[in-house]
Structure 1
Amino acid sequence: MENDRSIADRDRARKILDLLSQVVEPLAVALGEGCEVVVHDLTNLENSIYAIGGGVTGRRVGSPPTDLLLQHVLGGAKSNIIGYATKLPGGREGRSSTIIVRDPVDDSAVAALCLNIDVTNVRQAHRLLGSLLGGDPESMVLPVPETPSEAFPRTVAELTTQMMKEVIDSTGIPVELMKKSHKIDVVAALNERGVFQVKEAVEDVASALDVTRFTIYNYLNELQDRSLEGIS
């Protein structure tokens, strides 16, 4: 019975993904140049991009999720994220929206419909208009909602590498000088950001921290024990 339910769940998820995929190319064309439309399969986080139209981030079908989407899913993906600022490849300015699509039967998050729009030229035009009108150019710039930064990896390796670099750099301690407590803190931060939802992540993190993959598993088990005991 459990296996039958799992098959039924997968079938529903696939139908939702296939339905969303039908609107990707038409929507990308309708929104015009500088817009990208992406459907993510949230049941396959390692290679989540199920369909993509437009060419803003250089990704393709089979690419992994962004770090922000990964963390959002790990937190339960309880809401949509609309109109947040992003930095697109090449340093261009973007505005993105992530719409979570749920299974109508069990309310689980099965897909994300994402829009990424390059607004670099729009912002430059606003600054120019502000200058021509004699006002403060910055007052003409579109407001930017505050949000964590988002990376657009093309491969799983890019995703894990960037997230590891950010977390390790944030400690301010070179890996070769880290003690066990520092490395556990790094693993904890990476775990909170959803890195270990990716299969190859354990090997990559072990290499970055100069330990074995079994040590990473031990760290994760220790963190789980702390959580169960209510220790922060």
Structure 2
Amino acid sequence: MKAMPKKDLTSEQRVILDQVKQIAQALGETLAPFTEVVVHDLRSPQHAILAIHNNLSGRKVGDPATELGLARIADDDYPQVLANYANEFADGRRAKSTSIGIKDSGGHYFAALCLNVDVTAFRGMASILERFSAINGEAKESIDPANADRLRERIGQFAANLATTPRALRLDQRRELIASLKDEGYLEFRRSVDIAAQVLGVSRATVYNDIK
């Protein structure tokens, strides 16, 4: 079944959407590098993403609308603002999201502005403040969810101290991190290399190479 062609923007919608794009750019620059800011065109759900700043999710311009976008398309009475709800990136990183529906003067949704905050680094900062980052150095046979979270938090903490994100670490910074994880015992758990690779956005082979 072919997708319905989208209608041209009305002059009113075009003015509003231009302003939303400017707001998205400003938010992206202000909240970098921890917040992804996305503009959706709800008139074209199969190719909804018009702009994406601080790309943390791996999506691209032209990708489809999310479930919330589809819900707004189907119902103009759907809540216009959904703030600070739990979300998750494709690689398992936890996120806090806010979605704002954009209506025209007729009360119809035609766009959306969404913010997705990578909270991994902030959880790491909280761990520092609360002194929860200490480990006992004992090896484990398997990694349970608590230890997986500790590993993600430790990586987020390292990146936050450098005012960046895990995926934006330079080669020398990543190797310093891997060396620290090894010395602190984080890489002794089963699947720890897989989790580290997911959070850093690299392959398992790259992590193993950094360990050497």
What is the TM-score when the length of structure 1 is the normalising length?
Answer: 0.49
> How much has 1:72 moved relative to structure 2?
4.1
> How much has 1:23 moved relative to structure 2?
2.5
For 1:7 and 1:129, locate their aligned partners in 2 and report how far apart those are by CA, in whole Å. 52
In structure 1, the residue matched to 2:57 is: 57
Decide which structure has greater helix share: 1
Aligned residues: 128
Which runs of 5 or more structure 2 residues have no equivalent in the other structure? 1-5, 135-212
> What root-mean-square deviation, in Å, do the aligned CA atoms of Structure 1 and Structure 2 show?
2.6
The SS at the match of 1:89 is coil
> How much has 1:73 moved relative to structure 2?
3.4
> Structure 1's 9 and 91: CA in aligned 2 closer, same or farther, altered over 3 A?
closer
For 1:30 and 1:119, locate their aligned partners in 2 and report how far apart those are by CA, in whole Å. 16
For 2:115 and 2:10, locate their aligned partners in 1 and report how far apart those are by CA, in whole Å. 25
In structure 2, the residue matched to 1:14 is: 14
In structure 1, the residue matched to 2:124 is: 124
For 2:7 and 2:73, locate their aligned partners in 1 and report how far apart those are by CA, in whole Å. 22
User: Which residue type is aligned with residue 48 of structure 2?
Assistant: S
> Structure 1's 117 and 132: CA in aligned 2 closer, same or farther, altered over 3 A?
closer
For 2:32 and 2:9, locate their aligned partners in 1 and report how far apart those are by CA, in whole Å. 35
> How much has 1:27 moved relative to structure 2?
1.6
Deviations 1:9-46 (A, max 9, x none): 63322332222112322221111202111111111111
For 2:48 and 2:35, locate their aligned partners in 1 and report how far apart those are by CA, in whole Å. 19
The SS at the match of 2:91 is helix
> Structure 1's 113 and 130: CA in aligned 2 closer, same or farther, altered over 3 A?
same
User: Which residue type is aligned with residue 114 of structure 1?
Assistant: C
The SS at the match of 1:91 is coil
In structure 1, the residue matched to 2:100 is: 99
The SS at the match of 1:94 is strand
Deviations 1:84-132 (A, max 9, x none): 111112111111100111102x111111111111011111322343345
- Tell me if structure 2 keeps the 8 A contact 1:34–1:55: no
For 2:24 and 2:9, locate their aligned partners in 1 and report how far apart those are by CA, in whole Å. 23
